[in-house]
Amino acid sequence: MAALLTVAALAAFALAYGIYGRWIGRRVLGDDEAIVTPAHARQDGRDFVPTHRHVLFGHHFTSIAGAAPIIGPCVAAYWGWAPALAWVVFGTIFLGAVHDFGALVASARERGRSIADLAGTVLSPRARLMFLCFVAVLVWLVLAVFAMAIAGLFVAQPTAVLPINAEIVVAVAIGWLLYQKKVAPLVPSLVALVLLYVFVGLGVLWPLDATRLGLSPAEARAGWIAALFAYSAVASLLPVWLLLQPRDYINSHQLLVGLALLFVGLFVAAPALDAPAFRAGGEGAPPIFPVLFVTIACGAISGFHGLVSSGTSSKQLDRLADARLVGYGAMLGEGTLALASTMAAVAGIGLVAACELPGGRAVDDLSWGAYYDTWAHAGAYQSLAFVLGGGAFLESLGIPGEVARTVMAVLVISFAATTLDTATRIQRLIVAEIGEAISARPLTRPAVGTLVAVLPAALLAFVDVPDPATGQAREAGWVLWPIFGASNQLLAALTLMVLTLYFAAKRRPVLPLLIPQLVVTAIALAAIGERLRAFLAAGDWVLGALASIMLALALWMLLEGALAWRRRRE
């Protein structure tokens, strides 16, 4: 049953790319027009660089496919396999891929401007600044949480440290070969992929555990956070072809190989669905609507993807005709990753024998019922179902257990690190656009913009504040994280609103944009309302105030959109 559902979902993705994606591109977005893309019109060797479509696909794919499309389905499997699978498949095809594709094309048509900056033209100048500031705060939170999450994984899975960091050196070498020596990308990238798996094996033999240096786990984690922010700052200033593109290209091959192994392992193991089709809540569990549709954001639709499409990918697009592969195709790739994560959680988990879960829970024979016994456990374990269940799929192919789990961990960390790289560069560009909007020229300088991008995020990662939910001190980034899901979907709704108005002005049929906008707007408003209710019920007045501000912002932006639509009609 699990294998049959997987084949049906993959077939739906393939048909969507060939039929619906092509129709959206030609009829709605006009991607068959010959225009001079920003990569050529504004070529600068740093951010605006014409890029081969397969290399750009790799960058875009791995930038959007961070840890979220793995973690989200693993948590949402608490409600059973049917709602998670349905949202991943239909959300990806009709909402997420259209959102990403549209943002990429609109930005490419407008000299590489971000969606937030484009809102000033489509909505109003005040909406532009408000949108830019909202995006900047959201990206600071992403940077802080991803740095903390990666650092935690480095401490928990030291076998992954060597392959992750060796990949940086290999990526620089690949970038030099591609752009300085004009070598075709396929062979070097395949050699790099082989080297990566060699380093995976070396990492298993010689794990780089910082605690062996006499550091406590907390000290080791803090050191990794500082190193990650320093690395991402340097990476955001380097030419995009030297590190970001080749690293993402290598990662895309790693992900494709990893997904292939996962699905082959699934077909060989042929597991039964260990989870029920539907689970009606449980003690302490939030309502399935809207929480499931916010929990699975990346993997269905995510506002952050619009920032990648309009922030970095549109500046590297060689031809507008490449946009369908990069925008629509990469989102289908992320949906495929979310599909694999879902199957690992609802079927692969039943193949795992004795193991120890976080909190010292020893389980003799793991099952979906034991793993998802409470909502608190589902949320706390995060990507562990992917590592355990996916590792079980790989073990069915004869891969040793420790190597299989390291491969899964490297997958998770690699794409979280790639998102960290891209988000830092996006934040630098967003800060520059804010500088232009308020006539603050220093903010438009790359070095200044990078500092403004990194330092507030570092404060969120290092400064502890009282957690209103528990009363204990915790990093500010984690305290604020509960509002990210709702704000991320709000960003997707606002992006779709800008795209609807933008293409309506070009007299294009916009129902394929308008209907997803209405759906995501309803989800975002319901999610903000649910968070606000939960915060106030827990006496969490700080997060309650922030949720109230988000709700006011959503209503304000929707009003701006309604006024802009009225002006267009008049």
Looking at the chain, the number of H-run helices and the number of E-run strands are: 26, 4
Distance CA 355, CA 344 (A): 16
Least Cα distance to 99 among 171, 148, 29 occurs for 29
State the chain's mean pLDDT as an integer. Answer: 88
Per-residue model confidence (pLDDT) at position 184:
83
Containing H/E element for 473? Answer: strand 473-475
What residues have CB less than 8 Å from 6, skipping those under 6 apart?
A: 263, 266, 267, 339, 343
* 19-23, 194-198, 410-414, 554-558: least confident range: 410-414
Indicate whether 10 pLDDT > 80: yes
* DSSP character string of 81-132: HHHHHHHHHHHIIIIIHHHHHHHHHHHHHTTT--HHHHHHHHT-HHHHHHHH
The fraction of the chain above a pLDDT of 90, given in percent, is 43
Q: Sorting pLDDT into bands at 50, 70 and 90, what band is 103?
A: very high
Rounded distance between C-alpha atoms, residue 241 and residue 483, angstroms: 34
Task: Read off the pLDDT of residues 306-362 as tens digits, 9 standing for 90 and up.
Answer: 999 998 999 999 999 999 999 999 999 999 999 999 999 999 988 887 777 777 677
Q: Which of 358, 398, 396 minimizes the C-alpha distance to 376?
A: 358
Distance CA 198, CA 188 (A): 15
Whether the per-residue pLDDT at 105 is higher than 90: the answer is yes
Cis peptide before 73 (omega within 30 of 0): no
- Looking at residue 459, what is its pLDDT? 93
355 vs 435, higher pLDDT: 435
Place of tokens 């008049």: 570
According to DSSP, the residues that pair with 360 across neighbouring strands are none
Secondary structure element (H or E) that encloses residue 194, with its range: helix 186-205
Tokens standing for 121?
A: 């033209």
The reported pLDDT for the residue numbered 454 is 95
Q: Which of 280, 265, 443, 305 is nearest to 375 (CA)?
A: 280
Residue range 66-75: average pLDDT? Answer: 85
| Nearest residue to 430 via CA among 418, 446, 419 | 446
Return the residue matching tokens 């232009």: 436
Query: Residues 542-562: pLDDT tens digits?
Result: 788 888 887 887 788 888 888
Name the token pair of 97.
């891929």
Instruction: Name which residue leads in pLDDT, 410 or 136.
Output: 136
Short-list 287, 321, 341, 283, CA closest to 81: 341
Considering only 279-283, 347-351, 386-390, 525-529, which range has the smallest mean pLDDT?
A: 279-283
Q: Which residue has the tokens 């355990």?
A: 388
1-5, 9-13, 121-125, 527-531, range with greatest mean pLDDT: 9-13
pLDDT of res. 373: 86
Give me the mean pLDDT over the 22-38 stretch: 94
Instruction: Give the least confident one: 195-199, 235-239, 411-415, 523-527.
Output: 411-415
pLDDT at 471 over 80: no
Q: What pairs with residue 473 in β-bridges? A: 466
Reported in sequence order, the residue ranges of 350-416 that DSSP labels E, i.e. its strands, are 355-357, 361-363
Its pTM stands at 0.90
Q: Which region, left, alpha or beta, applies to residue 539 given φ > 0 means left and ψ of -120 to 50 means alpha?
A: left
pLDDT score, position 110: 95
Per-residue pLDDT band for 469 (boundaries 50, 70, 90) equals low
Q: Is the pLDDT of residue 375 over 90?
A: no
Got the DSSP string for 362-424? EESS--HHHHTSSHHHHHHHTTHHHHHHHHHHHHTTT--HHHHHHHHHHHHHHHHHHHHHHHH
**Would you say 70 and 341 are in contact if contact means Cβ atoms under 8 Å apart?**
yes
> Is residue 423 within 8 Å of residue 146, measured between CB atoms?
yes
pLDDT at 208: 82
Stretch 472-480: mean pLDDT, rounded? 81
Tell me what pLDDT residue 358 has: 74
Averaged over 222-236, what is the pLDDT? 93
> In this predicted structure, what is the pLDDT of residue 140?
92
20 vs 94: CA distance, rounded Å: 9
